[in-house]
A and B are shown apart, each in its own frame.
Chain A
């Protein structure tokens, strides 16, 4: 069986995988990082979104072996070691941007990438278009859009995060 070595949430790991193993299966089944979810089998829903070398990717859409040497960040690696939430997590909570929680990890990872890539600002329309690859069945997206707009302000230094 092929071996794949990568860094996940800052930790180096080397795992044996079947060639057909998807990155999401490596995360969930080999590494026990079950925060990354699987919601479909056609790369449509985005529940499995993680960061790969700083970009958001659907981890069901690449083979584990393609992640050789990569740095992967999952929802579990987002909060600081002392438990302080990332501003995006905090704003999702503040604005009730999640209900059942299943799409949430992928939604948060996509949203962070969207905000990171738009330091110049994000309109509501851009946020909605930016979420094209992530499905949520509970919220109607209304509060997710609000949460992302609020997190943009904090992540780009326009507003302070709530004192922890």
Chain B
């Protein structure tokens, strides 16, 4: 292995700027003559707008313009598009109500944007926004997904009856019903997957300018600048691509929430064109809470049928998914193809049926958040398996092992559409149990008991699908775009390399890991490789970073482009070395005539390609630069085992995670340091979901957890040290063998935590605790059982 090649724990090159305050995030950019936008948002969950009086705001000091939805509509500005169409059980398309950039006629959630004030200073814009007088007629609102589907519930969109966006299903219902009819055991569980707020530390921001020739530049906090250019250019503002440059510079975390095309991007770009001055908008955190797409929010009923020996016969799931007030960019895909297709998990359950009703409510839109659908599936399944163990009396590890898809069964076709290429679930289970000293647990439980504490251990053996995805397949499933990735490799005349990648780094460290791949593959010194991303003016195209796809899909595009470089290099070398191209080998940056000492370095080949004095100019173009589009052949399937150990103080109900072990199969590891960091961060978010985080709306749609004082973000003293291990099998269908590691932590951990809590509370006969398992919830459970315990 080269010192800085694949597999090396290279320290990140991006750190030198981030550690010295030299990072360049969107809010750090300022353009001459810049104006500031402030958005007046709805403080009503559901209301008709009878009138908007902006005259006082227009006359306020420093104000340059005030615009409402009517102004944008009059100028032909379109609504925000949805990128995925789901079809109902009966084959009809989902309801797709309009999503105006600024509200038209009605507001549908707290935070719905109504008007924008643009002024010389941020403070002036904010002051003036207060002066906008809005005549609201309040309407009944609904926030809870169950309440929204009840008869007579208020309608979020007038033309969407029952608030149902779609009623979708997957799987073989007849086979499932037959299996349930002959089952020895049927296990049932109702569970809620709590709504979360992603809260990347950098609030969203957008800065747009339009030059004198009508060319636009938008700097935005995005995980996928080309997608924003495409959606905003083609559907919202009708600007052609060649006149619209979108830059996503350093971005301070995304976790999914910065995938989507948001109203503010369109507002500042449109206003910059109208005013011919740069316009900047930066969210305050309070705005992030009511305008960033939120995550999860499922209510499910699940049933598992087992035979006498504990073999899983069939799984039946019914889920209500809260989509919020409007369809965010990729929202429809999350509770369907990113969720129900994962319900086989790591088990050979022969029959599965799932139905999902996606529902509009008067809440902030919901879309993908770290894991997106897959955490919901893993949580449901891994909780259900534990309940099955409890109710059948079969040991929970033995029950899992009995039902694992064995290593020799790959490729494995599940009953819910996916075909897994590789995996070894026994291996990750075994290693995780060993690292967590599972065998020694009962002694620790007894020791804790002597201290008056309740100790529990829980595991999850989870699986996810990522590296989205074969374009043809996702097209059939409703995606309105292809999901390939793009890379350009430019070998400069003296042999150094610039890579232009369509993936985007917002914490993942691509500038380091991608350079490692190139150094390894082309045999170029690591220092001589530069990674460029996040700018539509530099990178040819790209679908961006989400769903743990950067390495598996973006990395594969790089390998494909490098292979083209090598193929061309071989032809040039053959010419220079007077050999046949078939006889040229390439390794470690050197082209060699096989079996001889006749060689040319990549640098020499590049020089000959750019200074083609001695060059096969008739057959071969000069230059050494290649672009590749890589379309994945399948999803990738990372998985593994997480073990969580908790200690509960029965006096306070406080749960402390005392040990956490994650052993994951992420395929090829490029940089172990970065993989560990990704897993640790994901686990922190998963523990956050299980114990702390909850976006709470009251029945009328008021967000009660709308700041960091109310929404409990995990802090350093809420979390344990996290032991991370990798036990990888290689992905069989991409050239790197990579599966992805960005989401495993957030997917595997929540069920491990709740399984540990239920284990700690087992003497109370507790079957399930909904997330987040707050001290109040745990304390109430313990208190409710105290009289019974006292009586015994």
Mark A residues whose CB is within 8 Å of B: 18, 20, 28, 33-42, 44-45, 47, 74-76, 78-79, 85, 89, 92-94, 96, 98-105, 108, 124-125, 127-129, 131-132, 134-145
A137 touches B253 (CB 8 A): yes
Tell me whether B476 is interfacial, beta carbon within 8 Å.
no
Tell me whether B284 is interfacial, beta carbon within 8 Å.
yes
A89 touches B20 (CB 8 A): yes
B23 touches A135 (CB 8 A): no
CB-nearest residue of chain A relative to B684? A140
CB-nearest residue of chain B relative to A100? B507
Kindly provide the distance from the CB of B399 to the nearest chain A CB, expressed in whole angstroms: 30
A99 touches B681 (CB 8 A): yes
**Complex-state Cα separation, A5 to B741, whole angstroms:** 49
Partner pick for A41 among B18, B286, B714, CB 8 A cutoff: B286
Mask, B1-22, CB within 8 Å of A = 1, is 0000000000110111111111
What are the residues of chain B within 8 A of A96 when measuring CB–CB? 11-12, 673-674, 676-677
What are the residues of chain A within 8 A of B251 when measuring CB–CB? 100
A74 touches B21 (CB 8 A): yes
Partner pick for B255 among A135, A136, A137, CB 8 A cutoff: A137
**Complex-state Cα separation, A93 to B512, whole angstroms:** 13
CB-nearest residue of chain A relative to B682? A140
What are the residues of chain B within 8 A of A128 when measuring CB–CB? 716-717, 719
**Complex-state Cα separation, A35 to B20, whole angstroms:** 7
Kindly provide the distance from the CB of A88 to the nearest chain B CB, expressed in whole angstroms: 9
A98 touches B15 (CB 8 A): yes
Mask, B471-508, CB within 8 Å of A = 1, is 00000000000000000000000000000000000111
**Per DSSP, are chain A's interface residues mostly helix, strand or loop, or mixed?**
loop
A37 touches B25 (CB 8 A): yes
Tell me whether B203 is interfacial, beta carbon within 8 Å.
yes
**Complex-state Cα separation, A76 to B286, whole angstroms:** 28
**Complex-state Cα separation, A135 to B12, whole angstroms:** 21
Interchain Cβ contacts within 8 Å, total number: 172
B200 touches A137 (CB 8 A): yes
Kindly provide the distance from the CB of A111 to the nearest chain B CB, expressed in whole angstroms: 11
**Complex-state Cα separation, A147 to B237, whole angstroms:** 47
What are the residues of chain A within 8 A of B539 when measuring CB–CB? none
Complex A-B, nearest 3 residue pairs according to Cβ-Cβ distance, in ascending order: A35-B21, A102-B252, A101-B18
A100 touches B16 (CB 8 A): no
Most chain B beta-carbon contacts within 10 A, residue among A129, A141, A144: A141
Partner pick for A99 among B123, B199, B253, CB 8 A cutoff: B253
A132 touches B19 (CB 8 A): no
- Given A138-B681, A141-B716, A144-B716: A98 and B201 within 8 A (CB)? no
- Given A40-B285, A137-B255, A142-B680: A103 and B15 within 8 A (CB)? no
A132 touches B716 (CB 8 A): yes
Partner pick for A39 among B202, B681, B719, B745, CB 8 A cutoff: B202
**Complex-state Cα separation, A42 to B203, whole angstroms:** 13
Kindly provide the distance from the CB of A14 to the nearest chain B CB, expressed in whole angstroms: 20
Kindly provide the distance from the CB of A129 to the nearest chain B CB, expressed in whole angstroms: 5
Partner pick for A93 among B19, B27, B199, CB 8 A cutoff: B19
Binds A, one of B317-325, B384-392, B450-458, B705-713: B705-713
Mask, B212-227, CB within 8 Å of A = 1, is 0000000000000000
- Given A136-B201, A137-B201, A144-B716: A34 and B21 within 8 A (CB)? yes
Scan residues 12-58 of chain B and give those whose CB is less than 8 A from a CB of chain A.
Answer: 12, 14-25, 27-28
What are the residues of chain A within 8 A of B538 when measuring CB–CB? none
What are the residues of chain A within 8 A of B15 when measuring CB–CB? 92-93, 98, 101
A37 touches B680 (CB 8 A): no
A35 touches B23 (CB 8 A): yes
**Complex-state Cα separation, A139 to B722, whole angstroms:** 11
Mask, B675-706, CB within 8 Å of A = 1, is 01100111111000000000000000000000
**Complex-state Cα separation, A35 to B284, whole angstroms:** 18
